[in-house]
Amino acid sequence: MSRNGVDKERVATAIRQLKEAGRSASVPEIRALTGGSFTTIQRYKKEIEADEQSLSGPSGRIRADMLALIEQLERKLLERAQLEIDEAEQTLAVQAKSINEKLQLADERANAQQERIKDLEARLAKAEALAGDYANRYNAANNELARQAVDLTHSQRESAARAQRIETLSAELKTARDALEGYQEVMQRQRLQDQVQSDSAVSDLRNQHQAVLAENASLREQNIQLIRDNERLQALHTTQARHLDDLARQLDLERATGKDLIRQIARLEARLESHQL
């Protein structure tokens, strides 16, 4: 590149733009696009024209074909490289997904292990607390055993005294049992006597009961007879009441008839008196 900033590539680009626009690729036109000195632009323009002339000959066509093949090969290589890159990216994505899943599973397992560790620590703390409790209980049990050993010694002494007392009580119990057997024998004889007396009393009560039943039967018959007499009296009373009702009605009729006769006599007397006057 020159000191004023113009190079061969910029000049070639300006020439191509002017030709595509249908304008003349003169040095002033090129300089208007690129800037720089006329001498530098003129020199680059001549070199570019010489290159174009060399490419237009047989060797130039071969060179152009080679360049085209190189470009085609480059494109294929780029496409193949891109395919390999895409496949590699897909493989990497699958591997990354698998790794992420494994990492997630590992995290879950780690969390589960942490929970188990916490649980084990809690259990260990409980076990230590239980161990301390058991140790306290063990010491208390030893103390209790020592106390019970002392109590056992006293109990053995008391057991000997109790055995002596039991022997004494056994003798007293035998005496009481003999007395009880004698009492039971006396009570048995008394019970037999009471049974005989009770049987006699029951027989008397049965006889009295039979007499009462007979008397009740007689009274029941008398009661039935009284009921029948009462029914006859009630029937007679009903008949007499009806007869009295009939007599009362006849008396009322006779009274009414008497009143009519009295009124007729009164009228006759009144008429008689009127005739006498």
pLDDT in tens, 18-64: 999 999 889 999 999 998 899 999 999 999 988 877 765 555 555 55
Amino acid identity for residue 271 in this structure: R
* The pLDDT value given to residue 33: 92
**3 confidence band (pLDDT: 50, 70, 90):** very low
**Between these two residues, 275 and 141, which has the higher pLDDT value?**
275
Taking the C-alpha atoms of residue 2 and residue 39, their distance in angstroms, rounded to an integer, is: 11
| pLDDT at residue 1 in the model | 43
DSSP E strand boundaries for 52-106: none
- Interatomic CA distance for residues 58 and 54, integer angstroms: 9
| Tokens 């780029």, located at residue | 78
**Residue 40's pLDDT is what?**
93
Give pTM, 2 decimals: 0.26
d(CA 115, CA 110): 9
Return the amino acid letter for 173. L
Query: Cα torsion at 9, 11, 14, 15 (round to 10°)?
Result: -110
Q: Which of 15-19, 36-40, 120-124, 228-232 has the lowest mean pLDDT?
A: 120-124
Any idea where the domains of the chain sit in the sequence?
8-92
Distance between CA 276 and CA 245 in Å, rounded? Answer: 46
- Name the band, by pLDDT with cuts 50, 70 and 90, for residue 84: confident
